[in-house]
Amino acid sequence: MQTQSLSQPSLKTQLRALFVIARKDWKVFWRYPLNAVSNIVQPIIWITPIYFMGKAFSTDGQALGFAAYSGTGDYMSFILLGTVLTNYILTVFWGMGYALKEDMDAGVLESNWLTPVSRLLILIGRTLTSLLTTTITSLIMLAIAGALFGFKPTGNTLAAFLTAIPMLLGLYGFGFAFAAIVLLMREANTLVDVSSFLVQGLSGTNFPVQSLPYWLIPVAMMLPLTYGLDAVRGILLKTNTLLPINVEVVLLIVFMFAMLWFGSWFFYRVERRVRTLGTLGQH
Amino acid sequence: MQTSLTPRSLGQPGILSDVRAFQAILGREWRIFTRYPSWMIALFIWPLIFPMLYILTARALSGPDGSGLAVFMKTTGASDFIGYIVIGTTVWMWQNIVLWDVGFSLRNEQMRGTLESNWLSPTWRFSYLLGHTGPQIVSMLMFISITALEFGLLFGVKLHGSVWMILLVMLAAIPSIYGLGFAFASLVITVKEANAFVFLIRGLVMIFCGITFPISLLPGWMQSIAKWLPQTYLIHGMRAAAFSNAGITELLPDLIPLLLFGTFWLVVGYSTFLWMERRARRTGAIGQY
């Protein structure tokens, strides 16, 4: 019995390539166990100042100001949920760009590009392990942070999970476009750090976007992530939502198709340009 | 009789040749710094966006009628919540950047493969670290000035104190911040991958030093830890100097611990460097990565 070779592309070979990429990343991730610890501890460190800051704004333990905007005074559950979703956003949105940069620096991008595997598939493969490790570390983080600060979701977890799926798939489109920019610019760190902070800030990871200055609210409303975070919180924490949840879900689905189309179109266009220029291997 | 004036060679070590080597390292670092324009962009954008996450969260906690803000003002004694947060986050960014820049300076040389050859030159080896520190202090001064300008112009944060007193507090903090960076740089050479240590140290500052809240809100055991971190005094001193018009007398409870911590960390930093240098020569591990 012969195994299907990668040089005869089929669904089976493509899936095998995906699995190989994911297994390689899985091995690399666990070779540095401190990274896993860091993934768990980092978000807790980042939200601790907010926990104590919230206390400075609270009367008798009640964040009444926050409740007036969001519909819940439980600001820590609000922020913890935002933090978990942000972990996934970081994985999908920026993970592919970072992976490309790593391959460029290690000098393996060109040889990977020569394999008979779809380039978008290579990018997707680089996120699979991250998605799994993000799930593991986020659950542990949520358990620890829940014990420290309290986490009280009251809504339907399955509905919230299903709502997050089109948001995540749409993010793959964003990720493709971002990976294309990394191919062009060959510098990812500043780009990732700055854009990640801006997107997190404006889509309401840590606060309801209703509290943004009035001139920033239209910018937040243009970000599909805003609706994803808002809808998931609305379902799980019963917070006030910007639009009815059904409308937000429809927007997320539309965004998913639009971004997947645009992201892959943009990526292939840039990739062709980079190959024409011969700058693929440069960093 | 013919006399020839030859410049003092680095092969004849002396104070003058050390100064020249230091100048050369300083020049090289400055050239590298200015060659990457993305750093200049980061210099203008980071001071704004990092504090913004906390400021926007504070806005949300204030509520539409500002009722939460009144509670915050009462708890912290601050007259301006934006200024209060910006000082805390700027100190955090200062320590964070020093850890990445100074802390990883020798490691970067190691990764480029130039550390071993530099080590062989007849120069005072500590000047490699000092050479990295010079442009870093200049860029940090620019960073802090840009922060002050941006928040002054865009958010109307007003200074209610003396700029000289703020500079004095910052000056007193330089030995501890950079001493920690020196110690860290030496350790990184030995343990190679040290990102997790950066996360740990900056995490301690973030949790215990009150970057967005008064440390009186922390539980007793956390306050005890906060007292052993120089950044706690730096943040408190800068806030007092900037917004409470504190003079030297009022700042002494912050300045004295800062100077004591500074002496401690400079000694620790230099000793760790000497230890690492001896160890590296003994084990021959300086070029490994």
Identify residue B36 by its one-letter amino acid code.
Y
Element (H, E) at A104: helix A95-106
Cβ pairs bridging A and B (under 8 Å)? 132
Q: Which of B56, B73, B87, B225 to mutate to test the interface with A (most CBs of A within 10 A)?
A: B56
Computed over every residue of chain A, the mean pLDDT equals 86
* Reported confidence tier of residue B175, pLDDT bands at 50, 70, 90: very high
For residue B289, the model assigns a pLDDT of 61
Dihedral of CA B101/A197/A92/A31: which sign? positive
Q: Let me know if residue B32 belongs to a domain.
A: yes
Rounded-to-integer distance, Cα A3 and Cα B119, Å: 54
Quick check: helix, strand or coil at residue A62?
A: strand
Output the pLDDT for position B3.
Answer: 52
pLDDT-derived band at A2, boundaries 50, 70, 90: low
In chain A, residues with a C-beta closer than 8 Å to the C-beta of B62 are 57, 65, 211
Round to whole Å and give the CA distance between A274 and B233: 51
**Higher model confidence: residue B40 or residue B171?**
B171
Q: Which of A23-27, A107-111, B81-85, B259-263 has the lowest mean pLDDT?
A: A107-111
Instruction: Please tell me which of the candidates B66, B199, B214 has its beta carbon nearest to residue A42.
Output: B199
Higher pLDDT, residue A3 or B142? B142
Average pLDDT for A248-257: 94
Angstrom CA distances, B135 to A90, A155, B23, B77, B138, stand at: 32, 53, 11, 36, 5
CB-based contact B155:B82 (threshold 8 Å): yes
pLDDT of the residue at A281: 67
Would residue B9 count as lying in a domain? Answer: no
Q: Taking residues B112-132, what's their average pLDDT?
A: 80
For residue B156, what are the domain limits? 15-283
Percent of chain B at pLDDT exceeding 90: 34
What's the pLDDT score for residue A193? 74
So what's the pLDDT on residue B244? Answer: 87
Q: What is the pLDDT of residue B121?
A: 79
Q: Name the band, by pLDDT with cuts 50, 70 and 90, for residue B6.
A: low
Q: Which residues of chain B have a CB within 8 Å of the CB of A45?
A: 199, 203, 206-207
Set of chain B residues whose Cβ sits within 8 Å of the Cβ of A211: 56, 59-60, 62, 64
Shortest Cα distance from A176 to chain B (angstroms)? 22
Question: What does each C-alpha distance from A283 to A190, A276, B250 come to in angstroms?
Answer: 15, 16, 52
A13/A25 Cα distance (integer angstroms): 18
How crowded is residue A68: how many other Cβ atoms within 10 Å of its Cβ? 20
Structural domain that includes position A31 = 11-277
Is A283 within the bounds of a domain?
no
Structure ipTM = 0.80
Residue A3 domain-assigned?
Answer: no
CA distance B177 to B96: 10
What residues have CB less than 8 Å from B19, skipping those under 6 apart? none
User: Taking CB atoms and an 8 Å cutoff, what residues of chain A touch B213?
Assistant: 49, 52-53, 55-56
Report yes or no on A1 lying in a domain: no
Cα separation of B174 and B32, whole Å? 23
Q: Which of A31, A57, A69, A207 would best serve as a mutation to test chain B binding (most B beta carbons within 10 A)?
A: A57
CA distance A204 to A213: 12
Interhelix angle B37-62/A189-203, rounded to 10 degrees, is 20
Site from A47, A50, A53 to mutate, B interface, most B CB atoms within 10 angstroms: A53
Q: How many domains does chain A have?
A: 1
* Range in A184-188, B29-33, B49-53, B205-209 the model is least confident about: A184-188
B47/B38 Cα distance (integer angstroms): 14
Using 50, 70 and 90 to split pLDDT, how confident is the model at B253? very high
The per-residue pLDDT for A97 is 82
* CB distance A127 to A26 below 8 Å: no
Residue of A nearest to B217 (CA): A52
Distance CA B116, CA B109 (A): 9
Q: What are the respective helix, strand and coil percentages of chain A, to the nearest 5?
A: 80, 0, 20
Domain assignment present for A243: yes
Residue B90 falls within a domain, yes or no? Answer: yes
Of B49, B68, B217, the CB nearest to A63: B68
Task: Please tell me the predicted confidence (pLDDT) of residue A116.
Answer: 83
Residue A39, in any domain of the structure: yes
Predicted model pTM: 0.81
pLDDT tens digits along A59-116: 877 888 899 898 888 889 999 999 898 888 888 877 788 888 778 777 788 888 888 8
Q: How many independent structural domains does chain B possess?
A: 1
Instruction: Please indicate, yes or no, if residue B63 is contained in any of the structural domains.
Output: yes
Cβ <8 Å between B58 and A57 = yes
Is B5 a member of any domain?
A: no
Say if B85 falls within a structural domain: yes
- Ranked by mean pLDDT, the top range of A205-214, B166-175, B188-197 is B166-175
Is A4 within a domain?
A: no
pLDDT of residue A155: 86
pLDDT tens, B256-274?
Answer: 999 999 999 999 999 998 8
Query: Quick check: is A18 in a domain?
Result: yes
Interface of B with A (CB under 8 A): 38-39, 41-42, 45-46, 49-50, 52-54, 56-69, 71-72, 75-76, 193, 195-196, 199, 203, 206-207, 210-214, 217-218
Q: Which residue has the tokens 């239209």?
A: A218
Is B127 among the domain residues?
yes
Q: Indicate if the pLDDT at residue B190 is higher than 90.
A: no
Nearest Cα to A52, choosing from B76, B32, B110, B243? Answer: B76
The predicted structure's pLDDT at residue B192: 67
| Closest Cα in chain A, distance from residue B142 (Å) | 18
Percent of chain A with pLDDT strictly greater than 90: 24
Q: Are A137 and A40 in contact (CB under 8 A)?
A: yes
**Residue B7 region by backbone torsions, left for phi larger than 0, else alpha for psi between -120 and 50, else beta:** beta
* pLDDT band for position A151 (cuts 50, 70, 90): confident
